[in-house]
Amino acid sequence: MNSAPTLTLIGAAKSRGGEWGRDDFDVYENCRVVGRIMRHPQAPKDRPWFWTITARLPQTPEDRGYSVSRSQAMTDFKARWVRPPGANE
């Protein structure tokens, strides 16, 4: 049985409509937005991609972070989505 979630990035302009930067994405799982990944202007220079899980409330500091690339941000997002804060690691 494959328990790994299928997460999909969809550009914010397509997902939300309107005008959004090309480096701004919504993260979907099963047709619902569960987070966001974007290149953030105030991010650390060596980790410009910000990711955040928005579907979990209340949010914790572990539900967001910065990564070196968009693909690494997706990997980091997925790792935290699969193993929420407080889970046995």
* Residue 87 in domain: no
What confidence tens digit (pLDDT) does each residue in 60-74 have? Answer: 899 999 999 999 999
pTM (2 d.p.): 0.87
| Measured CA distances, 70 to 1, 18, 58, 75 (Å) | 28, 22, 25, 9
Q: State residue 88's pLDDT score.
A: 54
* Residue 1 in domain: no
What confidence tens digit (pLDDT) does each residue in 69-88 have? Answer: 999 999 999 999 987 666 65
Calpha distance 62→59 (Å, rounded): 8
User: Is the predicted pLDDT of residue 1 greater than 50, yes or no?
Assistant: no
What confidence tens digit (pLDDT) does each residue in 7-56 have? Answer: 999 999 999 999 999 999 999 999 999 999 999 999 999 999 999 999 98
If one counts the domains in the chain, the total is 1
Which residue range is the domain that position 39 belongs to?
A: 7-82
